Chains A and B, each alone.
Chain A
């Protein structure tokens, strides 16, 4: 899953909320590139401006400095080549729509004919293994299943970049592992590039080709570590590999610089 041209380039991005004395600088400076087909995870202490960064990538917010380019084109509004998975499925899914209608939601109103819309929605549901739940409502499903619906909705538009904002923070550990593997399989089958914002260090290494470590407020890039693990990956063997443990402890030390000295 490597290629030589970046699909996403973030250049000198900074963001400040407000003006004058009450101004709050969330991002000092962030630069990174994401190669086509690759996955990058963004980790950092809480309040490190990760959500601000993500909103700037998705075009939901205009950064006060620097730029975001997708395939060489500066992002000035919401690009059509992205899909976003939010942290809280209970807030991002439409409770009044069935699972199928939720996945159809982004496809409707863009000139696709009805059969095409339904076909693409069912394909996306098949990708996350939820074909059987198509006619149920989100609240009738478990948390993990609801987040799968959110993933299906994000990939239904066949995005070039999938942006995930702490996507598995609201589910239990067992479900989290399942959803991580699901994300790997979705990537393998759709060839989508991924930006994953997380505060789970294991996850940041397991799912990505490189880990971008941010400092606390206002955030800067501490380091960008390559993850040389290859594919396919699985929870047992991948997490036992020397490379995995090595990157994992490096990231850990960068985020918790004082922990190692404690008794």
Chain B
């Protein structure tokens, strides 16, 4: 018996995981479905009885979802041409920007993490830059880069970089000295040490930063599209807003929610398989 679990939070997490992975786990994972169904029914019932301009009934939104987004052929997952174009534009920008920020943040963050003296120099500007609300970067990015793809990608990078970088500094500086000694004893060069020791040892915390940044990437990609007034889901939201097309807005928001959940779930899958060794409670 090693690594006995005593932390109450961990115990709770272990209990939750056991509950979710026990027999008939698939049934349990559906436990939240009735809540959603009942919520939608109440929403439909109330908004049909007392129509509200800014909150159309779910069925109206669903119809718009079908005409605006899901009227395409099977080979494009039933997505309409316009819808697919907007989705690709927004999520491509978000994911490319996020990936650039991830590479940059993890590399720079790791260097600062292993060199406390460098980190001392870098800390004040980093803290200042981190405090800039990412949205505030958009106007200046438009001035510098115009309204195109490069501006939107740059905004995503500028916003996502800080959570990833600061998490990487904390994660890498927290890697046990003994592991670094093991690397040194085996004559690993700095790059080998980075790839074979620091990144895997720091990966639980690195993933935490990546997950925060991924949500931010989608927000910023949509936001930059809205500012630019064109392109992607942000541009569509702006058009619907200008036309007072409330069901169109809600349908777009639904698309964003579903896609955001899918992307987050995909990252969670990657994380779970990469961090299998780190799962609490999986001991003898």
Contacts and interface: CB of A to CB of B under 8 A. Distances in A.
Nearest to B275: A96
A86 interface: yes
B3 interface: yes
B35 interface: no
B77 to A, nearest CB: 36
Contacts of A95: 277-278
A82 interface: yes
B186 A96 contact: no
Given A139-B283, A140-B283, A141-B284, A78 B201 contact: no
Interface footprint category on B: 20 to 34
A110 B181 CA distance: 18
Interface residue tally of chain A, by bracket?
20 to 34
Contact of A109 (B1, B192, B278, B283): B192
Contacts of A91: 176, 178-179
B184 A96 contact: no
A125 B213 CA distance: 42
Interface string B173-197: 0001011011011111000100011
B206 to A, nearest CB: 13
Contacts of A60: 181, 184-185
B2 interface: yes
B200 interface: yes
Contacts, number: 65
Interface in A70-89: 78, 80, 82, 84, 86, 88
A106 interface: yes
B239 to A, nearest CB: 48
A235 interface: no
A96 B185 contact: no
Contact of A92 (B178, B203, B283, B284): B178
A32 interface: no
Contact of B185 (A82, A97, A139): A82
Contacts of A146: 2
Q: Is the interface of B mostly helix, strand, loop or mixed?
A: helix
A80 B278 contact: no
Contact of A96 (B178, B187, B278, B284): B278
Contacts of A94: 179, 182, 197, 200-201
Nearest to A150: B182
A92 B2 contact: no
A137 interface: yes
Contacts of B187: 78, 80, 110
A78 B2 CA distance: 32
A78 B183 CA distance: 11
B188 A109 contact: yes
Contacts of A80: 187
Nearest to B1: A142
A58 interface: yes
Contact of A78 (B178, B184, B192): B184
A109 B181 CA distance: 17
A142 to B, nearest CB: 7
B284 to A, nearest CB: 6
A139 B2 contact: yes
A105 interface: yes
Nearest to A92: B178
A143 B278 contact: no
Nearest to B183: A105
* 8 cross-chain pairs, A with B, having the tightest CB-CB distances, nearest first: A106-B186, A91-B178, A96-B277, A96-B200, A92-B178, A91-B176, A95-B277, A84-B185
10 contacts: A55-B181, A78-B184, A78-B187, A80-B187, A84-B182, A91-B179, A92-B182, A105-B186, A139-B3, A139-B277
Given A92-B182, A96-B201, A140-B284, 17 more contacts: A58-B185, A78-B184, A84-B182, A84-B185, A86-B178, A91-B179, A92-B179, A94-B197, A94-B201, A95-B278, A96-B278, A106-B186, A109-B192, A109-B196, A139-B277, A140-B283, A143-B2
